[in-house]
Amino acid sequence: MSVLTVTLNPALDVTYPVSRLTRGATHRVVRPSVRAGGKGVNVARVLHTLGDEVVATGLAGGSDGDRLVRELTADGIAARFSPISGETRRTVSVVDADGEATLFAEPGPRVTDKEWAGFLALYEELADAADVVVLSGSLPAGLSVTAYAELIRATSTPVILDAGGPALAAGAAAGPAVAKPNKDELAAAGGDPLSLGATAVVVSDGPAGMRVFTGDGVWHAAPPETVTGNPTGAGDAAAAALARSRHLPWPERLADAVALSAAAVDHPLAGDVDLDLYLRFRRSVTSNRR
């Protein structure tokens, strides 16, 4: 089983641990950490942790784009990013000793038509070689809202689409195997999952769990206990679960997504999962038909 994850707007995620953030002060950051981020990169990280074969692709540019690829490679994840002239963005998280995080998010680079064409050629090759494709996150400036629809139509490999806003509606219309909005994203896209165009729609609702809407029916699963924490990491873990379990029937698949998502949510870094917690949750989560 081989998964291709697509991150069109990845980021270099920088964490600055400080004793306490104080406005107007100078903070000496003794141990800054840097790692490759962005929703599709997080999906790739979860799959790699679980021992799955995964390739991370997307658009990367400038010295931070080079570093993103280097960091991924150092973490053992195959990275095949297409070059752009703009500089890959950074996110900086200042984390206090009590865990309070303050985030600074740079805007992404602008992508040209020529760069998009270059990516498409690489993508077609990689997607055709994969068993499943995961498209995750926001579109960088310069791309059409139909960018995800183009990627879905460009391959016969099943695609999981994890996006919100106009990219969700325009992408789902191209008929991916799965669309995975959260409750708010679904409401913004009209609220009716089966009219979106995807074969199945998984709707996440935080600690209340997830529902899947399919032609065969609707199922619901919820985590066995409330875990609060990092919702980005939780959504990316759910997408990873949906990719790796694609041969299972929907009740099992949904339960797996809920369990893996819950095992990721208490980790401060998106892309990390607690494998023991995952296995424990996997035994206790069940899906119920609605």
| Residues in contact with a copy of itself by the rule CB under 8 A | 16, 18, 21-30, 32, 62-64, 66-67, 70, 92, 94, 96, 100-107
The distance of closest approach from Cβ of residue 14 to a copy of itself in the complex, given in angstroms and rounded to an integer, is 8
Q: 92 or 145: whose CB is closer to a copy of itself? A: 92
Separation between Cα atoms, residue 82 and residue 190, nearest integer Å:
34
Question: Between residues 94 and 177, which has the closer beta carbon with respect to a copy of itself?
Answer: 94
Distance CA 285, CA 133 (A): 26
The residue (of 38 and 197) whose beta carbon lies closer to a copy of itself is 38
The answer to whether 236 is a known catalytic residue is yes
Q: How far is the CB of 62 from a copy of itself (least distance, A)?
A: 8
* 61 within 8 A of 288, measured Cβ to Cβ: no
Structure token pair of residue 233? 């990491």
CB proximity list for 221: less than 8 A, separation 6 or greater: 209, 210, 251, 254, 255, 257, 258, 285, 286, 287, 288
Catalytic residue among 98, 236, 274, 276: 236
Residue 66 CB contacts under 8 Å (≥ 6 apart), including other chains: 60
Q: How far is CA 28 from CA 19, 80, 94, 268, in A?
A: 10, 35, 12, 22
Measured distance CA(130)–CA(132) in Å, rounded: 6
Closest separation in Å from C-beta 67 to a copy of itself: 4
Cα–Cα distance measured from residue 286 to residue 284, given in angstroms and rounded to the nearest whole number: 7
- To the nearest whole angstrom, how small is the minimum distance from the Cβ of residue 90 to a copy of itself? 8
Name the maximum alpha-carbon separation found in the chain: 58
Q: Other C-beta atoms within 10 Å of 23: how many?
A: 4
Q: Coil, strand, or helix at residue 269?
A: coil
The CA-to-CA distance between both ends of the chain, in Å, stands at 31
Considering the complex, state which of residue 36 and residue 210 has its C-beta at the smaller distance from a copy of itself.
36
Tell me which residues are annotated as active site.
Answer: 236
